[in-house]
């Protein structure tokens, strides 16, 4: 589990598919407590948005 409250597992259980699409608004850190990292690891693609400049920089420099 990557997310703080199991949101990733909830989505995985509700939509047991690979290659889905997500929109994560208020994404925060790209790895710590991330709600969509598990989905990305399962082949999902999407957009993660956060307004905190220091967090945006972390998204820009992360390896995918």
Nearest Cα neighbor of 59 from 23, 26, 20, 28 is 28
Exposed/middle/buried for 8, CB within 10 Å: 0-12, 13-18, 19+? buried
pLDDT value of residue 21: 95
pLDDT value of residue 1: 58
pLDDT value of residue 2: 84
pLDDT value of residue 63: 66
Q: Tell me what the pLDDT averaged over the chain comes to.
A: 89
pTM over 0.85: no
Q: Is 58 helix (H, G, I), strand (E, B) or coil?
A: helix
- Which positions of the chain have pLDDT values less than 50? none
Tokens found for residue 13: 């259980």
Alpha helix locations (H) across 1-64? 7-14, 37-41, 53-61
């Amino acid at each position: 589990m990557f997310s703080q409250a199991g949101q990733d597992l909830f989505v995985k259980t509700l939509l047991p598919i690979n290659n889905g699409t997500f929109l994560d608004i208020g994404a925060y850190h790209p790895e710590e407590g991330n709600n969509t990292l598990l989905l990305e690891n399962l082949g999902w693609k999407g957009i993660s948005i956060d307004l905190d400049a220091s967090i945006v920089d972390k998204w820009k420099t992360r390896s995918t």
